[in-house]
Structure 1
Amino acid sequence: MTTAFNLAGLLDESAEKYPRREAIVCTATGSRLEFAQLRSAANQVANLLVSRGVQKGDKVALSCVNIPAFSIVYWGALKAGATVVPLNVLFKEREVAYHLDDSGAKAYFCFQGTAELPIGREGHAGFTRAEACEHFFMITADPSADSPIDGTETLAQATKDMAPEFECADTDEDDTAVILYTSGTTGQPKGAELRHSNMRDNALAGADIFGLDAERPDTFLCVLPLFHSFGQTVIQNAAVAYGGSVVMLPRFEGGSALRLMRSEGITFFAGVPTMYWGLIGALKEAGDELGPQNLERLRVAVSGGSALPAEVHREFEERFGMTILEGYGLSETSPVASFSVWGEKTRVGSIGKPIPGVEMKLIDPDSWNEVDPGDDDAVGEIAVRGHNVMKGYHGRPEATVQAIRNGWFRTGDLGRRDEDGWYYIVDRAKDMIIRGGYNVYPREVEEVLMTHPDVSLAAVVGVAHETHGEEVKAFVIRDAGATITEDALVVWAKGQMAAYKYPRQVAFVDRLPMNATGKILKRELT
């Protein structure tokens, strides 16, 4: 038996209870929207979509940076009963066309972007190549401006005559609310279909995980891209569910983030490890001006997306006086599957315990059998079951069967579990290096390298080798003023770890390639 529920009901409920509370703040656009205003704007989008023939279950694609328009279109599409398909703003024409075609999107909202990042130009070019997508709306930086592409309609123009009232469409909690595309590191990207109930329950889990309370609303700094599941659920949707305020930053930069934390009284920060690395670097550079004494309202700092290096963990706690709560999840799990237990002492390096309503176990990747649960040293692939697991991959039943069995979703991540039930990521199964028959986990090597005083950040990959199959290679960003040489770092590493683990090759770089969410793109390192 299923139950009627629309994720957009979270917005309607908060708009009824807290109409005058600030829902969104965006200094980049000079916007401050109260909940009542956010709902009215979303209602106009819903009326627009219905007027253009968008029906329940149709797909609405969205390419937009962290500005209010993202949330307005997101909630408006849901209100109309449509499924939202957020797209990475870095996509080029070909990639946009693929995602529009693969999802079967009927309408597409696209931010114009900038000269350096022409999102609108690439998006419109992709739209013209998509066979089934019927409607294109340009989101302009200035709502009063015309579209930079002749013949295209702007969001503001399309909604100006639309009524600000709309009765939320009846959807079932098992209907698909959002399709989030995976990174596509192997083969073409796949769209994870997430139910209204998946997204709702993951957002509402914030009460148990972080102590969110509508009577004591938090102010969230949104630096994670909203087209990604982490920012969408943990920041946007959780804030709406608990009457909090989202302060949007379109592009992460450590100094800007610290200034917003201070000026807007941020209480909740979430980021990926490279963002914490950026905050620490900005604090070192700025000194007392942006010091932690100016961030006294910050009560929660959470990390996800990839493993948080222990050195970053330690230095953030030392400089900011608070511990980062590390969590774990994937697009296919809405995304949160586990988190460090709020209020308990954090175990550095652990992704915590499964959140309420979710189970985790370690399995043998080949047989799906659970590895010995009593062995603290046993390594297995992490599998997840619970209210957060996706419906399946859109249009790919065979891929769905390969990924989900008896409700258990296999993550592709290798982990271990301690005697108290806390989980630890060992590495991505696909990132594991096999050197001369020995398994080398890049994260372990990275952690060791980052304990060297001259090393700021490290990424370790396997490169082809004639006799060993793969060799261990480290790409390293040094601290400012560091003098160590590449050969000297190899010698140092040799004294710190087993002979098969230490990197025989080290390359110093000024930057590491990252995607839009701040994850290091190891596939681009050779």
Structure 2
Amino acid sequence: MRRAAAMTTKRSVHGVPVEWETLPALVAARAAQHGDLPRLTVAGRAMSYRDLDDESSLVAANLHRLGVRRGNRIACFLRNAPEHLVTWVAAGKLGAIWVPLNAGLVGEDLVHTLTDAAPAVLVVDGELAERVAAVEDRLPPMRVYQVAEGQTAEGQIGGGGRRPAFTELLEPGSTPPVVEVSGGDPAVIIYTGGTTGLPKGALLPHFAWIAAGMRYVEAFETKPDDVHYSILTLFHVGGLMLGVVGPMVADIPTVIDRRFSGSNFWARARETGATIVDLIGTMITVLVEQPEGAGDREHRVRVSLGVTGQIPPAVADRFVERFGVGFVNVYSLTETGGVLIVNNRMDSPKPRANGRTHGWAEVAILDDGDQPMPPGSIGQIALRPRYPHIFMSGYFNAPERTLECLSNQWMHTGDLGYLDEDGFLFFTGRQAHWLRRRGENISAYEVESVLSHCPGVREVVVVGAPSEKGEEDVKAFVIREAGCDVAPATIAAWCEGRMAAFKIPRFIAFVDDFPRSVTKREIERHKLRELPNDRVWDRERQAG
């Protein structure tokens, strides 16, 4: 009896009772509250929460009729579309696990991800269906439904036969089952990749999504008249937690576009009445590079997510100055429950910091022996939750990788940073961003920060290149400004006096773009390190 009573104890966070523990419960509550009032616009379709609740119940009933049960996986391979959210909520109602696949997957990555997840059902749009068909003979059996108005396609997907339209899952007739789902039950697998290796599936429980929404309310200090405008993808935690769950918990409208457009962004922000946006990384650079106009501040946007670690600080400063929009800077990983686990509010006394955990987690900087390091010392960032079920449960089908990540009661991020004396976290780069040259440890991130200010340099990535003397030499891959032909010798000369001599790149290569991972669009430094040094500019050779 005691155990039963304990299991029904209502959860609280920061002393505040939690109203819902799962996404279906949250959707049902908002549907009862707002009825048919449109509160969610996805890829041009305005939906009420009642629409989302009713349609997801139809899909859940039909999937159950087809044999989908608790723990089965249901995958979506789509561009931003309403079917993402309908399928997600339907999976939750069945106790099944939703798997949104990166729309950039192709070939081996697509085969690996679908084979690992082994979904019972795959929902795919017409644009991406050809990629699935190209590898269908290497996929496990699964039912495939295509999002295509009024169409059905013929095709074999792992022996699945006819490929029906998604609309068949919306047909009435079956009764959805009643499945008890708790906050600790598995909800979503997000396939995430770093700088190396095939994608790995981070399994997030139901309450991790609700917790992310609660952090959204805190970090952005939401108000009743706020409107969120999102251009992030619905196959990543960023788009899902910021564009969907955050506004749903905050009880504000949200608009999610199909894709980001630099030339049309501010027009869309004005059309939607947005006050909160979620720009990240190079999106900020693209907007700063747009022609200036009298309407640069003719909008309601007051705050944006801040993911500025891979762009020059001057670009972020210029964005704030030009558009009058502040940043909530963050440090987040899918594994640590997604967005805003560390965040820096707009009124922070240290705007360059990534922020604090604000009671959601503990953070430490660890050395190679997992010992805490003093303030100001750079080491591996590690976190552990202060509440149950807000971090990932583990990597799907990868117990060894899970144990490696979660060793010694800390979640090891593989990222480097330091804590200052006031407990603010500063991210300095990934472990792969460090190299060792002739006995000196060099932060690629630090060298990149200096080189990014060199006239004529648009973007730069620094890696370690094998040295004939042992260890590594510094190699810079540079994308030049349009119409600029700055020479390697000019860049190297510009570095003198701006960084220690041992940090100045020996090799400089010009490229049109960098190789990027399909999951996070992160620069794949290991591929750059594999490129040969012949035919690239060599400072030591030039010096004789």
- Common fold by TM > 0.5: yes
Tell whether the 8 Å contact from 1:21 to 1:243 is kept in structure 2 after alignment. no
Tell whether the 8 Å contact from 2:213 to 2:250 is kept in structure 1 after alignment. no
- Name the CA distance, whole Å, in 1 between partners of 2:446 and 2:21: 44
1:433–1:24 Cα change, 3 Å: same
Tell whether the 8 Å contact from 1:8 to 1:168 is kept in structure 2 after alignment. no
Q: Which moved more, 1:516-525 or 1:35-44?
A: 516-525
**Aligned length in residues:** 504
SS in 2 for 1:350: coil
Letter in 1 for 2:22: N
- Name the CA distance, whole Å, in 1 between partners of 2:480 and 2:234: 31
Q: Shift in Å at residue 304 of structure 1? A: 3.1
SS in 2 for 1:288: coil
2:504 to 499, 502, 506: 502
- Name the CA distance, whole Å, in 2 between partners of 1:434 and 1:473: 12
1:303–1:452 Cα change, 3 Å: same
- Name the CA distance, whole Å, in 1 between partners of 2:431 and 2:190: 22
Q: Does 1:122 align with 2:128?
A: no
Name 1:403's counterpart in structure 2: 405
Q: Shift in Å at residue 89 of structure 1? A: 1.2
Q: Shift in Å at residue 106 of structure 1? A: 1.3
Q: Does 1:362 align with 2:370?
A: no
Q: Does 1:197 align with 2:207?
A: yes
Name 1:158's counterpart in structure 2: 169
Q: Shift in Å at residue 393 of structure 1? A: 1.4
Tell whether the 8 Å contact from 1:230 to 1:305 is kept in structure 2 after alignment. no
1:104 to 85, 109, 118: 118
For residues 37-56 of structure 1, what are the structure 2 equivalents within 5 Å? 37-56=51-70
- Name the CA distance, whole Å, in 2 between partners of 1:471 and 1:364: 24
Q: Which runs of 5+ in 1 are unaligned?
A: 114-118
Tell whether the 8 Å contact from 2:219 to 2:340 is kept in structure 1 after alignment. no
- Name the CA distance, whole Å, in 1 between partners of 2:172 and 2:134: 28
Q: Shift in Å at residue 426 of structure 1? A: 1.6
- Name the CA distance, whole Å, in 2 between partners of 1:306 and 1:22: 36
Letter in 2 for 1:288: G
Letter in 1 for 2:384: R
Name 1:318's counterpart in structure 2: 321
Name 2:539's counterpart in structure 1: none
SS in 2 for 1:315: helix
Letter in 1 for 2:423: G
- Name the CA distance, whole Å, in 1 between partners of 2:27 and 2:203: 21
Tell whether the 8 Å contact from 2:124 to 2:145 is kept in structure 1 after alignment. yes
Name 1:245's counterpart in structure 2: 253
1:492–1:341 Cα change, 3 Å: same
- How big is each residue's C-alpha offset from its partner over 1:31-60, in whole Å with a ceiling of 9 and x where there is no partner? 221222222222222122112111112111
- Name the CA distance, whole Å, in 1 between partners of 2:264 and 2:380: 38
Q: Which moved more, 1:516-525 or 1:238-247?
A: 516-525
SS in 2 for 1:8: helix
Q: Does 1:269 align with 2:271?
A: no
Q: Does 1:144 align with 2:154?
A: no
- Name the CA distance, whole Å, in 2 between partners of 1:270 and 1:168: 36
SS in 1 for 2:228: strand
In the superposition, the TM-score normalised over structure 1's length comes to 0.89
Tell whether the 8 Å contact from 1:112 to 1:148 is kept in structure 2 after alignment. no
1:307–1:252 Cα change, 3 Å: same
Q: Does 1:484 align with 2:489?
A: no
SS in 1 for 2:232: coil
Q: Shift in Å at residue 447 of structure 1? A: 1.2
Q: Does 1:11 align with 2:27?
A: yes
- How big is each residue's C-alpha offset from its partner over 1:87-116, in whole Å with a ceiling of 9 and x where there is no partner? 111212433332222223211111221xxx
Name 2:241's counterpart in structure 1: 233
Q: Shift in Å at residue 505 of structure 1? A: 2.4
1:306–1:122 Cα change, 3 Å: farther
- How big is each residue's C-alpha offset from its partner over 1:253-294, in whole Å with a ceiling of 9 and x where there is no partner? 311323211221221111321111111122xx3x316x4222
Tell whether the 8 Å contact from 1:413 to 1:429 is kept in structure 2 after alignment. yes
1:111–1:359 Cα change, 3 Å: same
- Name the CA distance, whole Å, in 2 between partners of 1:248 and 1:25: 6
Name 1:385's counterpart in structure 2: 384
1:444 to 443, 446, 451: 446
- When the two chains are superposed, the root-mean-square deviation of aligned CA atoms in Å is 2.5
- Name the CA distance, whole Å, in 1 between partners of 2:52 and 2:170: 14
Name 2:3's counterpart in structure 1: none
- Name the CA distance, whole Å, in 2 between partners of 1:160 and 1:247: 27
Q: Shift in Å at residue 208 of structure 1? A: 1.3
Tell whether the 8 Å contact from 2:274 to 2:301 is kept in structure 1 after alignment. yes
1:185–1:240 Cα change, 3 Å: same
- Name the CA distance, whole Å, in 1 between partners of 2:419 and 2:188: 31
In the superposition, the TM-score normalised over structure 2's length comes to 0.86
Name 1:116's counterpart in structure 2: none
Letter in 2 for 1:68: P
Q: Which has the larger radius of gyration?
A: 2
Tell whether the 8 Å contact from 2:243 to 2:255 is kept in structure 1 after alignment. no
Q: Shift in Å at residue 184 of structure 1? A: 5.7
1:2–1:488 Cα change, 3 Å: farther
Tell whether the 8 Å contact from 1:325 to 1:346 is kept in structure 2 after alignment. no
Letter in 2 for 1:138: Q
Letter in 2 for 1:461: V
Letter in 2 for 1:84: W
1:75 to 83, 89, 97: 89
SS in 1 for 2:522: coil
Q: Shift in Å at residue 412 of structure 1? A: 0.5
- Name the CA distance, whole Å, in 2 between partners of 1:46 and 1:127: 26
Q: Which runs of 5+ in 2 are unaligned?
A: 1-5, 9-19, 157-161, 532-544
Q: Which moved more, 1:319-328 or 1:183-192?
A: 183-192
Tell whether the 8 Å contact from 1:308 to 1:326 is kept in structure 2 after alignment. no
Q: Shift in Å at residue 124 of structure 1? A: 4.1
- Name the CA distance, whole Å, in 2 between partners of 1:471 and 1:262: 49
Name 1:207's counterpart in structure 2: 217
SS in 2 for 1:415: strand
Tell whether the 8 Å contact from 2:329 to 2:344 is kept in structure 1 after alignment. no
Q: Shift in Å at residue 149 of structure 1? A: 5.1
- Name the CA distance, whole Å, in 1 between partners of 2:166 and 2:494: 57
- Name the CA distance, whole Å, in 2 between partners of 1:181 and 1:30: 27
Name 1:288's counterpart in structure 2: 293
Q: Shift in Å at residue 483 of structure 1? A: 5.0
- How big is each residue's C-alpha offset from its partner over 1:269-326, in whole Å with a ceiling of 9 and x where there is no partner? 11321111111122xx3x316x42222x102211238545312221111211233221
2:422 to 413, 416, 420: 420
SS in 1 for 2:503: coil
Tell whether the 8 Å contact from 2:285 to 2:311 is kept in structure 1 after alignment. no
Letter in 1 for 2:293: D
